[in-house]
Homo-oligomer: A and B are copies of this chain.
Amino acid sequence: MFGPDFTFLGVDRCDLTDPESFADADIVILGAPFDGGTSARSGARFGPKALREACYLPHDGSRPSLALRVDGLKDLRVYDAGDVECYSGDVETSIANIEEAVHTIASSGAIPLVLGGDHTLALPDARGVARHHGFGQVSMLHFDAHADTGNIEFGHLYGHGQPMRRLIESGAIRGDRFLQIGLRGYWPEPETLSWMAQQRMRSYEMTEIVSRGLETCLSEAFAIALDECEGVFLSVDIDVCDPGHAPGTGTPEPGGLSARQLLDSVRRICYELPVVGMEIVEVAPPYDHADITAYLGNRVVLEALSGMARRRHDAEHGTTWDPTRPLLDGR
């Protein structure tokens, strides 16, 4: 929407108004250049452009993963549908447009992968997916420094601090299938925490993660996510990482995950769980330096696609991926 029109690392383009153009898709990437829902720094509207672009390799639609020995862009059928028209000055129309686009993709059988944009998007993104798979049928794995469960802010129901409440209220996602990883800091206040507890959400604050270990927490969360749900929606707010690793974001909260931890977590999720939708949000290029946050966000997408591709490969071949295996010992 802003600047030149190109696809994520050169994958093929599709057109949501033409179902034929993505009929064989495994994944459809969608940009949502909206930052009208931010409560502090804006700039995430340039996230889709930055995430599509931030790579020093040729934009050739191929990215063979060293770690997983698959090519997420070629082993899967990945399209980029371009950007949904978003007007940051009108949150309601924007989220309606986004939800419609996401639902169109999900309905086609493909996995929507949304490039944000601010976290307001979680509402249309996850609801668009849930409308296809069934309300309450999709669990949520939510990486973030913030719970995003506020009620009314600036007099509005919709914004980047409230989508998770709206999702639960609407029934799209069950509160007790809501898994949050990486929370920290000084928000929300106790009443909102009480509401969250009432919904039986499960939120892993950084203190618990440091004390018990990230891998342990993830494994526990995975078990909950799969209980009575058939699919998982993965929502990655880049501010789950420490500002040292992801400075280019709107509401940076010190003390977060390292980039390595986030990449490994995303890989595990997409390899071990049946992901049916995904979003990466809150990359705000005006605050980035040397594009390191955009690079990280780009790799989050690739790590996810590689994990999904390997998951499919292993399912088809009856193999298992072994993280301790040396790089040059063959696949």
Contact = CB atoms under 8 A, between A and B. Distances in A.
Given A6-B6, A203-B326, A290-B252, A260 B210 contact: yes
Interface in A211-255: 211-212, 242-248, 250-255
Contact of A2 (B36, B40, B159, B323): B40
A154 B290 contact: no
Given A40-B56, A245-B242, A186 B302 contact: yes
Nearest to A37: B89
A328 B67 contact: no
Given A5-B6, A89-B89, A244-B244, A255 B289 contact: no
A327 B39 contact: no
Contacts of A5: 6, 10, 59
Interface in A283-331: 286-292, 295-296, 299, 302, 323-330
Contact of A186 (B43, B63, B292): B63
A206 interface: yes
A251 B56 contact: yes
Interface in A1-15: 2-7, 10
A53 B49 CA distance: 12
A190 B65 CA distance: 9
Contact of A328 (B197, B206, B258, B299): B197
Determine the main DSSP class of A at the interface with B: loop
A29 interface: no
A260 B242 contact: yes
A203 to B, nearest CB: 4
A158 B87 CA distance: 11
Interface string A268-291: 000000000000000000111111
Given A3-B59, A88-B38, A252-B295, A183 B66 contact: yes
Given A56-B40, A295-B243, A259 B251 contact: no
Contacts of A253: 295, 299
A327 to B, nearest CB: 4
A35 interface: yes
A21 interface: no
A150 to B, nearest CB: 11
Given A183-B66, A260-B210, A290-B252, A89 B327 contact: no
Given A66-B186, A86-B154, A289-B290, 13 more contacts: A4-B6, A42-B88, A64-B188, A87-B155, A88-B88, A89-B91, A204-B327, A242-B258, A243-B292, A244-B244, A252-B291, A254-B292, A289-B289
16 contacts: A4-B7, A4-B52, A5-B6, A6-B6, A64-B186, A64-B187, A89-B90, A193-B328, A197-B330, A243-B295, A243-B296, A252-B290, A253-B295, A254-B259, A256-B259, A287-B290
